[in-house]
Structure 1
Amino acid sequence: MSKIGVVMENIINECLGLPPNFLKEFNHDRSWDFMAALRYFPASNDENVGITEHEDGNCITFVLQDEVGGLQVLRNEEWIPVVPAEGTIVVNVGDVIQVLSNKKFKSATHKVVRKGEKSRYSFVFFHNLNGEKWVEPLPQFTKEIGEAPKYRGFLYKEYQQLRLRNKTHPPSRPEDQNFAAACLRVLEEDGPAAMTQATDCIKSRRYKYSIDAIHFYPIKTDVH
């Protein structure tokens, strides 16, 4: 999956008109990538939320969903169902690409709606960035074309910490509210403490990511 991530990164690189291999060299560390298996229970009579509206905070997300479906993306203020198709992978651009491109590429707003018939299963692969990497709008999309940066720069790991904190505490600054989707990074080596942190976030009222509606299974990071 990491190899597919690099291929998609190269496609985005070309679409943005960046120098060859720019994004590949910018994001060469694959140790932060991870995959998760998700199980969504059938909808109840009074609730069908799987995951509420959000954007992913990483670079690129790949979703392999079963025939049940339920994934929806927002376009022109309308929710569009992503109809499952055998042999296909759904690709979502994340916040990192949005910031680097100064919003030339928009992070995909999406949600999951649970259906009443049966559980939904999906595998999600997160093509991430090294936590020590500094992220800000690239000069190719700002000063070189006379446009002001739409975002201030940030350290990737601090940004993810901010996203997680915003699930359980009000943002310290109003402008942080826009990046308030939780990042549940649970790796095998993180152990019980990381799973406890993820569970606490899942239980947060702000995220409406019900522990009764979904099971989150971390998968070894060496799965490619």
Structure 2
Amino acid sequence: MASAPVIDVGPLLLDADADAAAVESAVAQVGAACREWGFFQAVGHGVPDALLARFNAQARAFFSAPASVKRAVFRSADNPRGYFDDELTKRRRDWKEGFDYGGPEGNPVDGENRWPDPDALPRFRETLTQYFDAMVGLASALTAAVARSLGLDPGALAGALGRRHASLLRLNHYPECPNPEGNLGVSPHKDVGMLTLLLQDDVGGLQVEHGGEWVDIPPIEGAYVVNVGDMMQVFSNDAICSPVHRVVPPREGSRYSAPFFYNPAHDTVCEPIASVADPKATVLYRPFTWAEFIGKRLAGNLEDLGEEVQIAHYRVQSAPGTQASELRSQQVC
């Protein structure tokens, strides 16, 4: 069975003197993958091997640390950054533990960074900060490519992100699961931001729903799995759709992964870009701020507080397909 495309994104990272044909080819491949799959694997991304090695080592060191070290930075309803082992996805507990880190500037919506005891993990904070910065650069280049694939200026989506973007880096550890058929590492869901860049190990378990079937996203050493999020769907007026995906936990051993969620700034007004759609097309979403959306979403992740907010809740009443069934957790694009 076919899987999501593998794309050399190297031409997208070069300066203005880069081979124009190579750049246009990469843009076209990214656009096609986003429209057809919502997923692709990026190689040639330029993140240094040495940084990847340090980052992977620190992630494993954190999850191997004593429980007291991890639970000292346990997240809470008023500060959802830090360690957790009780995440809910679609109101079902995930088979995983994790650690969330955002940009250095804290905020009332998604909290302040919590750092484990430096005596226990002396290089953890420095390494994650360096890695976060590398992810911002790569995600920015890929977002510009998506914009170009939509016929927009490369910077057309940058205004929703900018220096104040509310991006999040997550470390995931999926422990051995004796009954993976009865549990999921992460239940079927859609990511909420603009793009997600995932570094996964060689264990596998990530699957995307495509053509009515679950399709594996096989590990490729050194590659990033890139997928579209809900806000990209909103800004593109459904020209690009956020895909449903899930994680099957390992029957033996452990799985490690690290998604970087490239998110808008909290005061960004999320709504379709008029120039994406045909002038006669219906604008499918009413405006809302990222702070409003993510605040409601975080409440659902931390506690079972009822129906989880979805972008379908923001579809305009005159848009087709706004029946109650579409307000379920897995709306169809």
**Structure 2 length normalisation: TM-score?**
0.50
| Offset from partner CA, 1:110-157 (integer Å, 9 cap, x none) | 110012011100111111110111001111134x52111222221111
The equivalent position to 1:63 in structure 2, one of 198, 203, 209, is 198
Judge conservation of contact 2:150–2:276 (CA < 8 Å) in 1: no
| Offset from partner CA, 1:38-89 (integer Å, 9 cap, x none) | 0001222363310000011111111111111100011111110010010110
Equivalences for 1:136-151 in 2 at 5 Å?
136-142=271-277, 144-151=278-285
The answer to whether the aligner puts 1:162 opposite 2:290 as a matched pair is no
**Uncovered stretches (5+) of structure 2, i.e. residues with no partner:** 1-134, 314-326
Percent identity (aligned) = 32
- Aligned twin of 1:28: 162
Judge conservation of contact 2:145–2:154 (CA < 8 Å) in 1: no
Judge conservation of contact 1:48–1:115 (CA < 8 Å) in 2: no
The answer to whether the aligner puts 1:84 opposite 2:219 as a matched pair is yes
The equivalent position to 2:185 in structure 1, one of 42, 50, 60, is 50
Q: List, as ranges, runs of 4+ consecutive aligned residues in structure 1 with deviation greater than 4 Å.
A: 172-175
Task: Give the SS at the match of 1:125.
Answer: strand
Judge conservation of contact 2:233–2:241 (CA < 8 Å) in 1: yes
**Distance in 1 (alpha carbons) for counterparts of 2:270 and 2:215:** 30
**Distance in 2 (alpha carbons) for counterparts of 1:21 and 1:74:** 30
Shift of 1:179: 5.7
Equivalences for 1:1-224 in 2 at 5 Å?
1-45=135-179, 47-142=182-277, 144-166=278-300, 168-171=304-307, 175-176=312-313, 177-178=327-328
Task: Give the SS at the match of 2:145.
Answer: helix
Instruction: Report which of the two structures shows the higher radius of gyration computed on alpha carbons.
Output: 2
**Distance in 2 (alpha carbons) for counterparts of 1:164 and 1:47:** 25
**Structure 1 length normalisation: TM-score?**
0.73
**Distance in 2 (alpha carbons) for counterparts of 1:173 and 1:123:** 24
| Offset from partner CA, 1:189-211 (integer Å, 9 cap, x none) | xxxxxxxxxxxxxxxxxxxxxxx
Task: Give the SS at the match of 1:141.
Answer: coil
Query: CA RMSD, aligned part only?
Result: 2.3
Judge conservation of contact 1:65–1:84 (CA < 8 Å) in 2: yes
Shift of 1:170: 2.8
**Uncovered stretches (5+) of structure 1, i.e. residues with no partner:** 181-224
Shift of 1:105: 0.6
Number of residues of Structure 1 aligned to a counterpart in Structure 2 = 180
Task: Give the SS at the match of 2:275.
Answer: helix
Judge conservation of contact 2:296–2:309 (CA < 8 Å) in 1: no
**Distance in 2 (alpha carbons) for counterparts of 1:73 and 1:65:** 15
Q: In the superposition, relative to structure 1, how do residues 97 and 85 fare at CA in structure 2: closer, same or farther (>3 Å)? A: same
Shift of 1:109: 1.2
Judge conservation of contact 1:163–1:179 (CA < 8 Å) in 2: no
**Distance in 2 (alpha carbons) for counterparts of 1:101 and 1:4:** 20
